[in-house]
Homo-oligomer: A and B are copies of this chain.
Amino acid sequence: MLRFAMLGAGRIAGAHARSFTANPDAELRWVADPVPGAAERIAGPAGARATLDARQAIEADDVDAVLVCSPTPTHVDMILAAVEAGKAVLCEKPIDLSMSRVDELLTALDGREARVMMGFNRRFDPSFADIHARVTAGEVGSVEQVVIVSRDPAAPPREYVASSGGIFRDMTIHDFDMVRFFLPEIVEVSASGQNVIEPFIAEAGDFDGAVTTLRAANGAVATIINSRRCTFGYDQRLEVFGSLGMLQAANVLPNSVRSFGTDHAEKTAPYPNFFLERYVDAYAGELAAFIEAVRTGGPLSPSLEDGRQALVLAEAAEKAARSGRTVTLPAPTTVK
């Protein structure tokens, strides 16, 4: 039984709370959030203790592991504090919006990076994980093309956009990690940003859609198609094409019902609304993998370096989108 402190009690914390309920090997002991009353809303039903003070939760004797789902700017400090306190860490993406702060964290961790796992939950989606296992087993031969469609249902609010770090660091970063799940060594990035949805996003200097192309060291090319708005739900698809065949993850439907009428056949309900619904199994799988790795001393994966590499790709994509030039990555992006 692994005992957890959860830092942050927002939307993503709610998703994790559901995983705790269903996981017999995890126990949520503490929830910390500086907003009065926030921690209680999650701690109460879970039978955990609530606090305003993250450090109290991190350092509690009955805590083995820390789940960081506080706002991005706090991640670096929380990770460091938790590792200093001897706790294993599962941290939501991204590590930070600033590469220099990420590098400072790595310096400060000084060899203890292996205590930290990044919350790239999609690696644990049952369909994506199945594709990964089968690709690794050679089912499609050598990977030549990866295509990701990743569209949010609706644009985030103006304030969110302002502090998000931009579409590539905030939204595409999950897709960058998914590309690296299949093609860890990316050597070139190009990107086309779009402003077709919300004027306030353009005004904030951000894009509301993007197509990003990444070339791997082995010549494979990955394409990521993003939009901040999608009327039919959260559009999340993946295809991995190789010399021997292709594996494709269709989007997930809320049930298996199809309707038929005078003007249509085989109609389904729209796709799940957003990540909380779409990736509920992925969050559960991520928690289980973290627990298993901590238990067995196995490597925590995706690693902090995976988190850093996703950020490297986000920076490169932004630069490419703004310059109209392919960005060549300065050094191998392989995991150290």
Q: Which residues of A contact B (CB under 8 A)?
A: 21-22, 24, 45, 126-127, 130-131, 134, 139, 142, 144-145, 147, 149, 151, 188, 190, 192, 194-197, 209-211, 213, 215, 218-221, 223, 225, 227, 229-233, 241, 243-271, 324-326, 328
Contacts and interface: CB of A to CB of B under 8 A. Distances in A.
Given A225-B145, A231-B245, A264 B270 contact: yes
Copies of this protein in the assembly total 4
B219 A196 contact: yes
Given A219-B196, A265-B232, A267-B264, A209 B144 contact: yes
A130 B257 contact: yes
Contact of A267 (B250, B266, B271, B325): B266
B258 A248 contact: yes
Contacts of A267: 264-268
A233 to B, nearest CB: 7
A247 to B, nearest CB: 5
A154 to B, nearest CB: 11
Nearest to A244: B231
Nearest to A195: B219
Contact of A221 (B211, B246, B264): B211
Contacts of A253: 265-266
Contact of A251 (B218, B221, B256): B256
